[in-house]
Amino acid sequence: MPVPRYPERHERCHRVSNYPHTPLLDTVHVPSDLKAIDDEQMPQLAAELRAEMIDAVSRTGGHLGAGLGVVELTIAIHKVFDTPHDRLIFDVGHQCYPHKILTGRRDRIRTLRQEDGLSGFTKRSESEYDPFGAAHSSTSISAGLGMAVASEAQNIRRNVISVIGDGAMSAGMAFEALNNAGALDARLIVILNDNDMSIAQPTGAMSGYLARMASGRTYMGIRETGKKLTAYLGKHVDRAITRAVEHARGYVTGGTMFEELGFYHIGPIDGHNFEHLLPVLRNVRDNGDGPVLIHVMTQKGKGYAPAEKAADKYHGVSKFDVVTGAQAKAKPNAPSYTNVFAEALIEEANHDDKIVAVTAAMPSGTGLDKFGDVYPSRVYDVGIAEQHAVTFAAGMATEGLKPFATIYSTFLQRGYDQVVHDVAIQNLPVRFPIDRAGFVGADGSTHAGSFDVAYLACLPNFVVMAAADEAELKHMVRTAAAHDSGPISFRYPRGEGVGVEMPQRGQLLEIGKGRVMKEGSKVALLSFGTRLADCLLAAEDLDAAGLSTTVADARFAKPLDTDLIRQLATNHEVLITIEEGSVGGFGSHVLNFLAHEGLLDGGLKVRPMAMPDIFMDQAKPEVMYARAGLDRAGIVKAVFTTLGVSAEAAKHA
């Protein structure tokens, strides 16, 4: 039976109306419905599921390539195992859209990543089929092992399956979990979904090792393989498995790194071929014990030509035209912060050959791909390894290089002990450009850059800056490059700048000095970072309401500009701090200073404005600002509330 291949048809066929058979997908509401469908019909189901996913993501945007690559694998796992009793954990969770469609969420799949819609990742509160939430990578083996051990401790027979990508497998956490699992001997099934891609090309020796296995260098003969498999799976190695072995390139059965760690290692097998997947999974389900690793080869973007051709560009997409693959791109009003950072770093590197840059598997997201185009030997992609990235940079700093460890706010959380122990305590001049600081929109709470100011400004030795606009970002890159006496960070958000005039090169900022943008006499708005633009707009409203307003840009959360704060506290009735970060950040440091200096004792009304103490679900950034009260209207409201007056009364105050 010919399987319709979506790209060749170039049609929107999510309803499979042009498919000659009854849509099988319409009969699958939950995974147990798969039991009624024959193995031979699985390719048809996969084609329908793939088409459904492509159509949904073309309307919502989101993670495309990873999900397309695991369509067959997802179906096969749900067909063979008994979820949700058996636990299925997707690492990162960005590949889980086919899983969502098969697990009762098809009717909401076109709400993916939208306000009040489905999350773009797995989420415990969303479905019983998501036993573990994710979005940061490389947690699935640890979580799965915990579940497996807990089940065994409670005499519950269940399979736990962790699906982890080759990129995610590069992280320290994954190795820690493999190490523990091999020793504990718990019944854990790890499926290594190897598509030879991370977001970008994978890097590192592990990636090379997997590629060598996939190219057959370590394969053993089929007969020998059969013997080994029998040893693991028991006497009844299914006839189908022998067929699968013949079709697949073979089973690796000895001497692999995974085997040395105590795993039974099966594969590589073809992850798009049900004749290989189903018998292998059934045999693992029905026989054997202890940890097993199944190495499955897949193709990122499988079944959609544009995504197959350019897996990096179709990892995460905006809305796109299914026929052409063209992604919707709003005309930008200003350069993105990421691009400004990249250009500024190149500019500084032109002047200083000690400058180097480090990324943890995010070259395009951080702009370091552009830096690498100019200075290929001065950029290091260490893989998904934030902890290592930080200490690696610390080591470079000890030898006189000037490393920029460029890591998203949310991912730097993973390297926190390294930031404290390896960088701050030793006062090493590692520069931390912190991208995606603040709300990030569709990726939701797991990716929000909420905590970096709180977790960095509390550390002795650190200088902590936030850019209010793209020109400020340039200044901060230059300032960080010149700051050689200890660690320094600067944060900037996802998306476009505000459209200010750009200097050719950044200026050196005086450490610990803010700037006054506008002088008033009654209300002082002290902004840290990109809320400055809304503060200036709010000040217009406040002035119009008769509340003369000063606006200042703190630039530094550490060291604080104490002269500026003292002056604002002394000369105004109200002092409001505003930042796009959690409680415990800039505002907390200002309050601490004011309290210690006795500046709160004379009746000054101080209100710190920060992100609310919740994990906020995905929505458009404007909506998130409004919800958090961190937009123009929210700032005006905070001032009125602090003064205990209405807008009308304020005019007469």
Ligand X SMILES: Cc1ncc(C[n+]2csc(CCOP(=O)(O)OP(=O)(O)O)c2C)c(N)n1
Residues that bind ligand DXP (CB under 6 A): 63, 92, 94, 199, 316, 365, 436, 440, 443, 494
Site mask for ligand X (CB under 6 A), range 62-81, x = bound: ----x--x------------
Q: Does 92 bind ligand X (CB under 6 A)?
A: yes
| E-strand stretches of 87-176 | 87-90, 160-165
Q: Does 281 bind ligand X (CB under 6 A)?
A: no
Element holding 515 (H helix, E strand): strand 515-518
Minimum CB distance to ligand DXP, residue 380 (Å): 19
Range 164-193, binding ligand X (CB under 6 A): 165-168
Residue whose CB is less far from ligand DXP, 199 or 578: 199
Picking from 428, 305, 423, 412, the residue whose alpha carbon sits closest to that of residue 359 is 412
Range 405-424, binding ligand X (CB under 6 A): 411, 414
Q: Which of 187, 300, 402, 522 is catalytic?
A: 300
Segment lying near ligand X (by CB under 6 A), choices 23-31, 263-271, 354-362, 546-554: 354-362
Would the annotation count 592 as a binding residue?
no
Give the other-Cβ count within 10 Å of 379's Cβ: 23
Cα dist from 112 to 319, 394, 438, whole Å:
12, 39, 21
CA 92 – CA 151 distance, rounded (Å): 23
| Residue with the CB atom nearest ligand X in the bound state | 165
Q: Which of 52, 343, 348, 386 is catalytic?
A: 386
CA 476 – CA 180 distance, rounded (Å): 43
Which residues neighbour 344 within 8 Å (Cβ) at sequence distance 6 or greater? 473, 474, 477, 478, 506
Picking from 188, 195, 157, 156, the residue whose alpha carbon sits closest to that of residue 88 is 188
Residue whose CB is less far from ligand X, 52 or 386: 386
Cα dist from 632 to 426, 440, 444, whole Å:
41, 19, 22
CA 254 – CA 424 distance, rounded (Å): 44
Minimum CB distance to ligand X, residue 68 (Å): 10
Residue whose CB is less far from ligand X, 42 or 134: 134
**Phi and psi torsions of 93, nearest 5°:** 90, 0
CB 340 within 8 A of CB 470: yes
Q: Does 91 bind Mg ion (CB under 5 A)?
A: no
Which residues neighbour 151 within 8 Å (Cβ) at sequence distance 6 or greater? 157, 158, 160
Range 199-238, binding ligand X (CB under 6 A): 199
Q: What is the 3-state secondary structure (H, E, C) of 420-459?
A: HHHHHCCCCCCEEEECCCECCCCCHHHCCECCHHHHHHCC
Minimum CB distance to Mg ion, residue 365 (Å): 16
Residue 316 interaction partner, one of ligand DXP, ligand X, Mg ion, none, beta carbon < 5-8 Å per kind = ligand DXP
Q: What is the 3-state secondary structure (H, E, C) of 167-181?
A: CHHHCHHHHHHHHHH
Would the annotation count 357 as a binding residue?
no
Would the annotation count 468 as a binding residue?
no
CB 477 within 8 A of CB 573: no
Q: Does 241 bind Mg ion (CB under 5 A)?
A: no
Minimum CB distance to Mg ion, residue 301 (Å): 11
How many degrees, rounded to 5, is the angle at CA 36 between CA 31 and CA 38?
105
Residue whose CB is less far from ligand DXP, 98 or 506: 98
Map tokens 């905006």 to a residue.
318
Q: Does 384 bind ligand X (CB under 6 A)?
A: yes
Range 99-118, binding Mg ion (CB under 5 A): none
Residue whose CB is less far from ligand DXP, 94 or 478: 94
Would the annotation count 151 as a binding residue?
no
Which residues neighbour 439 within 8 Å (Cβ) at sequence distance 6 or greater? 448, 449, 493, 580, 611, 616, 621, 624, 625, 628
61 φψ region: left (φ > 0), alpha (ψ -120 to 50), beta (else): left
Would the annotation count 333 as a binding residue?
no
CA 319 – CA 28 distance, rounded (Å): 26
Residue whose CB is less far from ligand DXP, 79 or 94: 94
Residue whose CB is less far from ligand DXP, 195 or 253: 195
Would the annotation count 135 as a binding residue?
yes
Pick from 300, 436, 475, 478 the residue near ligand X by CB under 6 A: 300
Element holding 76 (H helix, E strand): helix 71-80
300: annotated active-site residue = yes
Minimum CB distance to Mg ion, residue 65 (Å): 9
Q: What is the 3-state secondary structure (H, E, C) of 521-577?
A: CCEEEEEECCCHHHHHHHHHHHHHCCCCEEEEECCEEECCCHHHHHHHHHHCCEEEE
Residue 436 interaction partner, one of Mg ion, ligand X, ligand DXP, none, beta carbon < 5-8 Å per kind = ligand DXP
Residue whose CB is less far from Mg ion, 163 or 457: 163
CA 202 – CA 168 distance, rounded (Å): 10
Would you call the peptide bond into 84 cis, given omega within 30 degrees of 0 as the criterion?
A: yes
Range 113-152, binding ligand X (CB under 6 A): 136-137
Map tokens 């709003």 to a residue.
330
Range 173-212, binding Mg ion (CB under 5 A): 195, 197
CA 403 – CA 426 distance, rounded (Å): 15
Site mask for Mg ion (CB under 5 A), range 133-172, x = bound: --------------------------------xxx-----
Residue whose CB is less far from ligand DXP, 310 or 544: 310
The footprint of ligand X on this chain (CB under 6 A) covers a number of residues equal to 23
Give the other-Cβ count within 10 Å of 224's Cβ: 14
Residue 278 interaction partner, one of Mg ion, ligand X, ligand DXP, none, beta carbon < 5-8 Å per kind = none
CA 419 – CA 438 distance, rounded (Å): 20
Q: Which of 100, 105, 113, 414 is catalytic?
A: 414
Segment lying near ligand X (by CB under 6 A), choices 177-185, 357-365, 373-381, 612-620: 357-365
Would the annotation count 168 as a binding residue?
yes
Q: Which ranges of 273-359 would DSSP assign to H, the alpha helix?
A: 274-286, 305-309, 337-351
Residue 95 interaction partner, one of ligand DXP, ligand X, Mg ion, none, beta carbon < 5-8 Å per kind = ligand X
Would the annotation count 649 as a binding residue?
no
Would the annotation count 136 as a binding residue?
yes
Residue 475 interaction partner, one of ligand X, Mg ion, ligand DXP, none, beta carbon < 5-8 Å per kind = none
414: annotated active-site residue = yes
Picking from 13, 15, 12, the residue whose alpha carbon sits closest to that of residue 26 is 15
Question: Contact residues for Mg ion (CB under 5 A)?
Answer: 165-167, 195, 197
- Give binding residues for thiamine diphosphate as ranges: 94, 135-137, 167-168, 195, 304, 386
- Give binding residues for Mg(2+) as ranges: 166, 195
Question: Contact residues for ligand X (CB under 6 A)?
Answer: 66, 69, 92, 94-95, 136-137, 165-168, 195, 197-199, 300, 360-362, 384, 386, 411, 414
Report, as residue numbers or ranges, the catalytic residues. Answer: 300, 386, 414
- Give binding residues as ranges: 94, 135-137, 166-168, 195, 304, 386
